[in-house]
Structure 1
Amino acid sequence: MPLPDTMFCAQQIHIPPELPDILKQFTKAAIRTQPADVLQWSAGYFSALSRGDPLPVKDRLELPVVTQKTDTGLTQGLLKVLHKQCNHLRFIELVDLEQKWRTLCLPMEKLHALLVLDPCEDKVEWLKFLALGCSMLGGSLESAMKNICEILSTEPEGGPARIPFTTFSYLYRYLAGLDADILEADTESYLSDLQKKVECRQDMIGLSDFFVAKRKM
């Protein structure tokens, strides 16, 4: 239906004072995040903004990951976005996870492929799902743990990315337990050796620690 041919003068048009800043922040967020479907992502962005929820926005623009074997659409930056939205929860309902996944324009078949690795009915433990997502980014347990540390660490980007050893060991055991080729005895031996290296630093582990300690096979 065509718009009525009505003339307006500048005095008749009221522009909310906050609108320019909202549009500026939205534009910057879209450029950083580079959503595959701008309309779908925009709907999720403004919905989260209206509720005061964490926005589906990357911290920075990501360059293509040349080491990723297959293009799953998932990146560390997108997992960071999901973590900002879900880290206050121990468990997240699958319906909510699916909605956040769609907002980031990620393929639903990739979400289902992750959930098949550790089937659940209506909700999933968030940290375990994050670990599964990190395992999809690389091809090894070590690369998955590297991504986990970089996402969970509260230290400045580019630093040692330390996280509590209890969290590291919990997620390491979880991912190792899903790999039939990794013996439980090897996992426990590796974590025991690793803990000795970090207990003098209040049990905080960083990237340099677990890459130096080679997993026994």
Structure 2
Amino acid sequence: MPPPDTMFCAQQIDIPPELPDILKQFTKAAIRTQPDDVLQWSAAYFASLSSGDILPVKDRVEMPVATQKTDTGLTPGLLRILHKQLSSKININMAELEHKWKDLCLPKEQLQSILRLDNFRSKDEVEWLKFLALVCSTLGGNISSALKHACEILTEDPEGGAARIPFETFTFLYKYLSQIDGDIPETQIEGALGALQAEVEKQDGMVQPRNFLSSRCPPLS
């Protein structure tokens, strides 16, 4: 005698009408994001989908940053996901940050290394903008490159646009990274910011990468 749950024909299979679209969107998201651990990422994807949270999905397929000496898996696209998920708060609970980092299949050791740059490892919370700046510094080879990544993530301009951010935010990020670097004279910092001020006044208080990457701007570091 066959088990009671044996299927005798296809008509007995009840497929929820929304399932095909859910699986289609999930497949497209996985292709764009290219997670290192598909099972771990899938669990995070469906947990976020179920709770209505921001999905751990890249906007597009991307390659690892060429300036990195080794492929750590960290990319601007993954950092952009973290920014969407966490930037609604000024300070982020460390446990939540670790959870979101793990969801993106990023190495725990790399997170700990970043946190040690400003002794965040010993704290229960981390200021999001400062953490973002530190992660950008691991993507870029110098402060200028780190600030360019930060502009592209923080901007409200469309992708491929000017990547403008408020000069006040730029100043905060630049001074913070300079403090972490520890070898940039205060006169150099103020000189670079002063030189940018004239451009900023023409752009409604906004600064963009082409301003501080221009040969007309004094070196940031």
Counterpart of 1:99 in structure 2 is 99
Counterpart of 1:118 in structure 2 is 118
Matched, 1:60 2:60: yes
When the two chains are superposed, the root-mean-square deviation of aligned CA atoms in Å is 1.6
Partner Cα separation in structure 2 for residue 104 and residue 8 of structure 1: 41
Counterpart of 1:191 in structure 2 is 193
- Cα deviation for residue 5 of structure 1 reads 7.5
Please, which of 142, 145, 167 is the counterpart of residue 143 of structure 1?
Answer: 145
Moved more, 94-103 or 154-163: 154-163
Partner Cα separation in structure 2 for residue 91 and residue 8 of structure 1: 57
Check conservation: 2:67, 2:141, Cα contact below 8 A.
no
Check conservation: 1:177, 1:184, Cα contact below 8 A.
no
Partner Cα separation in structure 2 for residue 4 and residue 97 of structure 1: 47
Counterpart of 2:76 in structure 1 is 76
Percent identity of equivalent pairs: 61
- Calculate the TM-score normalised by the size of structure 1: 0.94
- Runs of 4+ residues over 3 Å off in structure 1: none
Deviations 1:44-102 (A, max 9, x none): 11111111110000000002432323322211010001001011111110100000000
Q: Which runs of 5+ in 2 are unaligned?
A: none
What SS class does the counterpart of residue 17 from structure 1 fall into? coil
Partner amino acid for 2:6? T
Partner amino acid for 2:116? V
Check conservation: 1:149, 1:162, Cα contact below 8 A.
yes
* 1:84-95 equivalence runs, <5 A: 84-95=84-95
Deviations 1:100-145 (A, max 9, x none): 0000000000000000011231010111101100000121000000
- Calculate the TM-score normalised by the size of structure 2: 0.93
What SS class does the counterpart of residue 92 from structure 2 fall into? strand
Please, which of 195, 208, 219 is the counterpart of residue 215 of structure 1?
Answer: 219
What SS class does the counterpart of residue 172 from structure 2 fall into? helix
Change (3 A) 1:169 1:4: farther
Check conservation: 2:133, 2:150, Cα contact below 8 A.
yes
Q: Which runs of 5+ in 1 are unaligned?
A: none
Deviations 1:18-63 (A, max 9, x none): 1111100000000000000000000111111111110000000002
Partner Cα separation in structure 1 for residue 103 and residue 145 of structure 2: 26
- Cα deviation for residue 4 of structure 1 reads 7.9
Partner Cα separation in structure 1 for residue 131 and residue 28 of structure 2: 29
Change (3 A) 1:125 1:12: same
What is the total number of aligned residue pairs between the two structures? 215
Counterpart of 1:160 in structure 2 is 162
Partner amino acid for 1:140? N
